[in-house]
Chains A and B, each alone.
Chain A
Amino acid sequence: MPLTGIQIYKLLPQTNCKECGYPTCLAFAMKLAAKQVELSACPYVSEASKTQLAESAAPPIRLISLKSDGYEVKVGNEVVLFRHEKTFYNKPGVFVKIRDDQTPEQIKAIAVPADAYKVNYVGIDLTLDGFAVESVKGDPDSFKNAVTAVRQVSKRPLVLVSKNPAVMAAGLGTLSGERPLIFAADPSNWEAMVELTKQHKANLAVAPGSGGGTKLEVLADLTEKIKAKGVEDLVLAYEAQSMGEALALTTQIRRFALRKNFRALGFPVIEFPSSITSIAQSISKYAGFVVLDHFTPDLAYPVLVLRQNIYTDPQKPIQVQPGIYEINNPKPEDPLLVTTNFSITYFSVANEVEGSGLPAWLMVCDAEGMSVLTGWAAGKFDSERIAKSVREFKAAEKLSRKRMVIPGHVAVLSGELEAELPDWEVRVGPREAVDLPAFMKQALK
């Protein structure tokens, strides 16, 4: 059973030294009980207490880390079922599948562009995390060659996929100094897979195979047996046959871990979704690792953006600094475009104006990180705030022709704005950023 904050407090030094970052031992104990910190943050806890606290202090979903030369993918450590309850912390690793029945040339034709893939979204470069190399042919040499071919062109972390220990050993043999994920141990091969995991200091995925009992019962039995052999960095697989089964199992596993603190299922899960719809479900519903069965930019881009969106901290909207931004070297006669400081809004507008090649001043008002419509509805983006920004950022000093363009969604503000700023010409622009270049070309000449 997990300990309460008070029970934990009794096991701490009670010196209030603050070295853990919290003002008192009691505050730290409360955080430990809520599983929001690690016990290792306390430098003075006794060994006896440590052992006693280990169970209570460990996060309910174990943090799993895949490492390779220069890369690390961390998943797990989640604390909620719904992102609004706090946030989702560690984004699922997105891996691309490579098969060993492909020639080295075919493998490189997938791995080179996938490794280099980078797409900019609201100022952040999004990339894929690694590759899952699958043994299809079932022989050690083919697998070894496929792993080698991937490693020749990418240093990103790997998942090795085979249930045959001899094949797995061949694949692992080509790697050194990294921590891959072995996929997978099941009731028939687990002892050999555990040995390989120990030998190579790897992570191990556990699958139900065709064992008796429900999938979760088989998994829980197996993780307990494997932990008893000293391997704890585990990942759960359930090989779901449908989106419905995957949703049920992923939900149940997370509930077991978070609500019951059930250690046998307290691990991240790996999924191999085959359709865009099931990939999207994996991202929003708790997958730790998502293996795509092919790579194309038109697939990777929406998947990586969804991951970014779902794992945004709901308590902290991503904002940009309010102020006046210069786009394409504007001159004093160029227009002042007005928008809010919600980062998605800002980047949509800034990208369009930049792409148009037309010079403009972009004034970002402080709407407390809300978009144009939401900010307007909440009273955070109105004529008063816009007028205040004009004064605060000294827009009149930068412009010779006092011309501003407000978003089409807040056309209703134009009258009030003209009253607030009598020497300004207020124009109503398009509703969507994507229509800005056309508007600037036609209406602002």
Chain B
Amino acid sequence: MPIEIPVDKWPGTVRAVTLGATAAQGGTRSRTVTVGGEKSMPFLKFETPMPNPPVVAIEIRDRRPEDWSQLLLKTWESVADDPAAWAKAAEAAGADLIVLALSTTGRDGQPTTPEAAVASVKAVLQATGLPLIVFGPGQAELDNTLLVAVAEATKGERLVLGICEDKNYRTIVATAMANEHLVSARTPMDVNLAKQLNILISDMGFPLDRVLMDPTTGALGYGIEYGFSAMERLRLAALQGDSMTQLPMIVTPGFEAWKAKESKVGEGVPSSWGDWLERAINWETVTAITLLESGADILVLRHPESVKRLKTAIAELQ
């Protein structure tokens, strides 16, 4: 019998956001990456094609992250002390974008200086032509000091600066505005908090087509269902026409999954957890794919095998 497929026609569209700037656009990137633009829930191509496929970023550090799982350190062993080499290796592993996360302290144990942060960022920019996202160490004051210096030293590159939270968004947004960068706005797994921060950023006169939102998600087994539903609700609100939620979403399944015991630890765990490496990669992959299905536009991962799997899945879903 002929049947008519039920199709949703939404009034709203997610904003398209472009990361990075080429030489012609005032930066030095060899290419840019555009995310967002959706008019439907993820990958429902029988409604509308996904205008810009979600992309995969690999997270690198400005110095060897000793607190990372041994599995990750082993994987990146030869490059973990050199952010430029690490960025190249990440590009070779299939990354569409690089995330450089700055550390709280340098190798000497002293707090990271703005000069050191700028040097790391510049080294990475020289090593790769991919667009770059720079995250501060996650302490409001230090983030402000480091990110302002980075923003000024890289004017026009259209970097993404993060993390903007309700505590420190003003400084980061102001410097992003002055230096032609983007920001990533993070809120803890709540639709209204996410919306509120976007309103605050927009009220500063910052154009929303330079904002990504990071709803934070939790890992598989550690509250991912909250992130999953918060993201579905955010995306539905965007499609229904709420302009303050019409932003592409960036999520960090690599960070979330690799802090879980299942990924981090290989000894003294139940035998029902199985092989450590395979379990750890599955943990990261399942966390990431679940967020992809609920509306993620940028997935920040840590292990190259997860990157490969996610890229294959995105290609199959397109």
Contact = CB atoms under 8 A, between A and B. Distances in A.
A428 interface: no
Interface in B167-194: 188-190, 193
B110 interface: no
A396 interface: no
Interface string A68-86: 0000000000000011100
Interface stretch (B24-32, B152-160, B281-289): B281-289
A263 interface: no
B261 A348 contact: yes
Interface stretch (B87-95, B198-206, B221-229): B221-229
Interface string B212-232: 000000101111111011001
B309 A301 contact: no
A121 B222 CA distance: 10
A436 to B, nearest CB: 10
Contact of B3 (A216, A247, A277, A297): A216
Nearest to B224: A309
Given A244-B316, A276-B282, A281-B293, A252 B2 contact: no
Contacts of B293: 247, 280-281, 284-285
Contact of A275 (B188, B313, B317): B313
A259 B3 CA distance: 14
A26 interface: no
Given A84-B232, A275-B309, A348-B261, A297 B46 contact: no
A305 B221 contact: yes
B44 A84 contact: no
A302 B3 contact: no
Contacts of A248: 43-46
Interface in A26-51: none
A227 interface: no
Interface stretch (B9-17, B74-82, B270-278): B270-278
Interface centre among A276, A298, A299 (most CB of B within 10 A): A298
Contacts of B2: 213, 217
A434 B220 contact: no
A200 interface: no
Contacts of B222: 344, 348
A309 B268 contact: no
Contacts of B64: none
Given A120-B270, A298-B274, A303-B286, A377 B188 contact: yes
A262 to B, nearest CB: 8
A23 interface: no
A312 interface: yes
A379 interface: no
A306 interface: yes
Interface string A280-321: 110011000000000011111111011001101010000000
A247 B42 CA distance: 9
A308 to B, nearest CB: 8
A299 B274 contact: yes
Interface in B288-307: 289-290, 293-294
B1 A298 contact: no
A259 B44 CA distance: 17
A279 to B, nearest CB: 8
Q: By CB atoms of chain A within 10 A, which of B46, B228, B278, B289 has the most?
A: B289
Contact of A302 (B220, B270, B310): B220
A339 B261 CA distance: 17
Contact of A251 (B44, B188, B262, B309): B44
B271 A297 contact: yes
A220 B273 contact: no
A251 B7 CA distance: 10
Contacts of A298: 273-276, 278-279, 282
B223 A344 contact: yes
A328 to B, nearest CB: 15
Nearest to B42: A247
Contact of A314 (B3, B43, B229, B259): B229
B221 A309 contact: yes
Interface string B131-160: 000000000000000000000000000000
Interface string B234-267: 0010000000000000000000000111101100
A255 interface: yes
Contacts of A213: 2
B109 interface: no
Contacts of A303: 286
Contact of A83 (B229, B262, B268, B317): B229
Contacts of B1: 217, 220-221, 224, 264
27 contacts: A82-B233, A83-B225, A83-B229, A83-B232, A84-B229, A119-B272, A216-B5, A217-B3, A242-B317, A247-B317, A252-B6, A252-B46, A276-B285, A277-B313, A280-B289, A281-B313, A300-B274, A301-B272, A302-B282, A306-B286, A309-B220, A309-B223, A342-B223, A344-B223, A352-B261, A377-B188, A377-B193
State the 9 A-B residue pairs at the shortest beta-carbon distance, nearest first: A298-B274, A297-B274, A298-B279, A277-B313, A119-B272, A298-B278, A255-B6, A243-B316, A84-B229
Given A82-B232, A310-B228, 13 more contacts: A82-B233, A83-B228, A220-B3, A244-B316, A251-B44, A276-B285, A277-B285, A281-B293, A297-B275, A299-B282, A301-B273, A344-B221, A351-B261
Interface of A: 82-84, 117-121, 213-214, 216-217, 220-221, 224, 242-244, 247-248, 251-252, 255-256, 259-260, 262, 264, 275-278, 280-281, 284-285, 296-303, 305-306, 309-310, 312, 314, 342, 344, 348, 351-352, 355, 371, 373-374, 377, 432-434
